[in-house]
Structure 1
Amino acid sequence: MKFSIIIPTLNEEKSIKSCLLALQPLRNDCEIIIADGDSDDNTQSLALPLADKVMISAKGRAKQMNNGASYATGEILIFLHADTCLPENALQLIQQKISSIRQWGHFDIQLSGNPFMLKVIAQMMNWRSRLTGIATGDQVIFVTRLVFQAVGQYPEISLMEDIALCKALKKIGRPVCLKNKVISSGRRWEHNGIYRTILLMWSLRLRYFFGADPRILAFLYANSIFTRYKLSALWKRIYLPKGD
């Protein structure tokens, strides 16, 4: 197989079938691997007839994707979220651009949903990733299997694993930035509030940049802790040097 598409899942019964149905025309050229975090809904049973492999591991996106990658046979690994759709001819686009010099990359992104700000957010994400060479998992990171193994796979941290992987890959070379857009769900932004989510994500990224513990960041993200009072209460805990 030339490609392996690896999809991390956890209780994705509402979206996994439509995600996998959209990938069926690609199965002559790729294998589809579900990297499940031991879902307690119908994700696994819905995925079984539509995927080549359904692998189960401990919960945690990095752990799941590494587990899925360990069973991949493709030369190029594509890490796809269950609520994200690939553009037409995605495999051909990757094959045309990836080379011995540029061995990893990502797509531009479009967020589904009605609010105009979702278009602005997507454009900012595209500009940021092109400027910094750092992509998010929503932008569908792809990488040769050999290079993925060479950098030690995804760091198994609680959050920001995609940023950590990109930083490691940048030491090997700049990414391929495909202008063709993946379409990712804007439900997170709409559900939590667009401006609230923007500020939360920038806050988490800033803290990660300054060395915050990813476990603390995952706690903040999962609980959407955002008030000045709660953030200030955690400030010292986040920034205390290791060993204090």
Structure 2
Amino acid sequence: MSLSIVIPALNEARALPATLATLPKQAEVIVVDGNSSDDTARLARRWGATQITTPPGRARQMNAGAAAARGEYLLFLHADTLLPGQTARLVTTALQHHHWGRFDVSLQGRHPMLAVIGAMMNLRSRLTGIATGDQGLFMRRSAFMAVGGFPEQPLMEDIALSKRLKELGPPACLRQRVITSGRRWENHGVWRTIWLMWRLRFAYWRGAEPQRLAERYR
């Protein structure tokens, strides 16, 4: 199998089936459960995914999934994110010319600002060469190994990995979109969440400890 899809999950029984239904049949699928208290692990197995369990922590879970994967290419996907059609072809084609890449993203929800937020995330990613986990990060296994995988920190692990991967080359920025849930934005308030995320990113850029930022994020 040339493509392995790694999905870290924690109590995602509600969102996971829809995500699994969009995955390319030719890909290896690994769901890494962080000791969920709901049916996440059982649902993953029922859908035919390889299911492994680790202590919770998104970076730790994704690293464990990558270690278990057999594919030449790795795609890290949030449990509430839907992939576009022809994902396997898009990823494998992009990785013929790049070490890594990501998709554009659309945030799903009722609030009209979610479309603006998604557009700004995509623009910022193109300008900076930094991608987030919401955008479906993918890479060659060799690139993932070369940078040491995800740093096992409680927040901003995707930003940290992007910075490492940029040293190998710029990302492939695919215009095909993944659709990810805007539930956090709506549950916590869109404007409040925008302000919080910008403050956290600025603090991280200034060198703040990820553990302290994670406490503020919760």
TM-score, normalised to structure 2, is 0.98
| One-letter identity of the residue aligned with 2:29 | I
Instruction: Tell whether 2:119 aligns with 1:87.
Output: no
In the other structure, the counterpart of 2:215 is 219
1:17 CA drift (Å) = 1.6
In the other structure, the counterpart of 2:4 is 4
Q: Distance in 2 between matches of 1:207 and 1:110?
A: 26
Q: Distance in 1 between matches of 2:35 and 2:209?
A: 25
Comparing 162-171 with 86-95, greater Cα deviation is found at 86-95
Instruction: Tell whether 2:184 aligns with 1:154.
Output: no
| One-letter identity of the residue aligned with 1:159 | L
In the other structure, the counterpart of 1:48 is 45
Q: Distance in 1 between matches of 2:84 and 2:13?
A: 22
In the other structure, the counterpart of 1:21 is 21
| One-letter identity of the residue aligned with 2:14 | K
In the other structure, the counterpart of 2:55 is 58
**CA distances 1:92-114 after superposition (whole Å, capped 9, x unpaired):** 11122222x51100000011112
Larger radius of gyration: 1
Identity of aligned residues (%): 51
Q: Give 3-state SS (helix, strand or coil) of 2:121's partner.
A: helix
| One-letter identity of the residue aligned with 1:91 | A
Q: Distance in 2 between matches of 1:127 and 1:21?
A: 29
| One-letter identity of the residue aligned with 1:78 | L
Q: Is the 8 Å Cα contact of residues 106 and 142 (structure 1) preserved in structure 2?
A: yes
1:22 CA drift (Å) = 2.4
Aligned length: 218
Give matches, 1:59-208, under 5 Å. 59-99=56-96, 101-208=97-204
Q: Give 3-state SS (helix, strand or coil) of 1:181's partner.
A: strand
Higher RCO, 1 vs 2 (CA within 8 Å, ≥6 residues apart)? 2
| One-letter identity of the residue aligned with 2:35 | D
Q: Give 3-state SS (helix, strand or coil) of 1:177's partner.
A: strand
1:21 CA drift (Å) = 2.2
1:51 CA drift (Å) = 3.3
Q: Is the 8 Å Cα contact of residues 158 and 218 (structure 1) preserved in structure 2?
A: yes
Q: Is the 8 Å Cα contact of residues 4 and 33 (structure 1) preserved in structure 2?
A: yes
1:57 CA drift (Å) = 0.7
Q: Give 3-state SS (helix, strand or coil) of 1:156's partner.
A: coil
TM-score, normalised to structure 1, is 0.87
Q: Is the 8 Å Cα contact of residues 105 and 177 (structure 2) preserved in structure 1?
A: yes
1:169 CA drift (Å) = 0.1
Q: Is the 8 Å Cα contact of residues 34 and 51 (structure 1) preserved in structure 2?
A: no
| One-letter identity of the residue aligned with 1:118 | L
| One-letter identity of the residue aligned with 2:12 | E
List alignment gaps of at least 5 residues for structure 2.
none
Q: Give 3-state SS (helix, strand or coil) of 1:106's partner.
A: strand
| One-letter identity of the residue aligned with 2:98 | R
Q: Give 3-state SS (helix, strand or coil) of 2:22's partner.
A: helix
| One-letter identity of the residue aligned with 1:144 | R
1:34 CA drift (Å) = 0.4
1:116 CA drift (Å) = 1.6
Q: Is the 8 Å Cα contact of residues 136 and 163 (structure 1) preserved in structure 2?
A: yes
Give RMSD over aligned pairs: 0.9
